[in-house]
Amino acid sequence: MADLRIDYCGIEFKNPIVTASGTFGFGEEDGEYTELSEYGGFSAKGLTRTPRPGNRAPRIAETPSGILNSVGLQNPGVESFAAEIMPELAKLDTHVIANMSGNTVEEYCEMAEILSETDTAIIEMNISCPNVKHGGLAFGTDARTVLELTEAVKKHCKKPLVVKLSPNVTSVADIAKAAEAGGADGVSLINTLLGMKIDINTRRPILANNTGGLSGPAVMPVAVRMVHEVYEAVKIPIIGMGGVMSASDALEFMIAGARLVALGTGMFVKPDLIIDVKQGIAEYMDKNGIKKAVDIVGTLELN
């Protein structure tokens, strides 16, 4: 029998499949389709220091092989999550990954302190957010900024800190190395690619916010390439994501170097996708004589 258990940041996950933050709310939406216990881990919706209503509609647009979203981090705030939502999630038979977004270093540090006092297993730091103290440029686009932010947050974080990387950069490997140098325990990638869709009749962007994040199968080849580059560049473990629709997709990420693989947009098409993905990975392992899931990770052989 294939052993799907896998270690990530010193935590044993029952299988390598987790949910991608922002695609799964706080878990209650998917309950009628599949049990959260099926997942190795559950990444909660992105949190901010104070509650946010999100962007105005329309904020979702379909594209070939994916969707654009500009939801705008709608959430109840980190304190509400810690006091009301996390205690309920802690009762579930799966690890919880809390995701946080900030506009200042201080906000990230405060959220890390609050989340560290909860039962969340891992804290994921989204660095694709505008740094309001430095002209609004996203934290995750500059290696020096990533190093300094990670160093600062790590001092306030009692849980493993995973830095979520943006693909909208010149060199994702350099950003990953900066996160590692700053003390990150792991990295996750990729976040969405920046895109736009236009209504040809009105000649205006469909999204009220003009641009949004592209996710779904269209981004997967980019994501797999970036996971491979980061695996070659750092020693800390990787969570890979971006367009996974099947077990073979998840296996590509693992072969490229990801220890955990996140399902996101694919669950909008097939809410119980986790069942097929887990079964497919187990069948692949049995067929190829692989006893432990970790033995798949980073086995890519280049031409």
More reliable by pLDDT, 129 or 262: 262
CA distances from residue 228 to 158, 253, 300 in whole angstroms, order as listed = 29, 8, 8
Looking at the predicted structure, is the pLDDT value of residue 119 above 80?
A: yes
> Is there a catalytic annotation at residue 9?
no
Q: Give domain 6-296's CATH number out of 2.60.40.420, 3.40.190.10, 3.20.20.70, 3.40.50.2300.
A: 3.20.20.70
Mean pLDDT of 44-50: 95
Helices (H), the chain: 78-80, 86-89, 105-116, 143-154, 172-181, 220-233, 247-256, 266-269, 273-287
Ordered by start, the domain boundaries in the chain are 6-296
Q: How confident is residue 192, by pLDDT bands cut at 50, 70 and 90?
A: very high
Residues 9, 109, 129, 157: which is the catalytic one?
Answer: 129
Which residue carries 């379909």 as its tokens?
A: 62
Paired tokens of 237: 């473990």
219 has pLDDT over 70: yes
* Structure confidence at residue 168 as a pLDDT band (50, 70, 90): very high
130 falls in which pLDDT band (50, 70, 90)?
low
pLDDT at 30: 67
Reported as a pLDDT band with limits 50, 70 and 90, residue 139 is: confident
User: Which structure tokens are listed for 246?
Assistant: 């099947």
pTM here is: 0.96
78 burial (CB, 10 Å; 0-12 / 13-18 / 19+) is buried
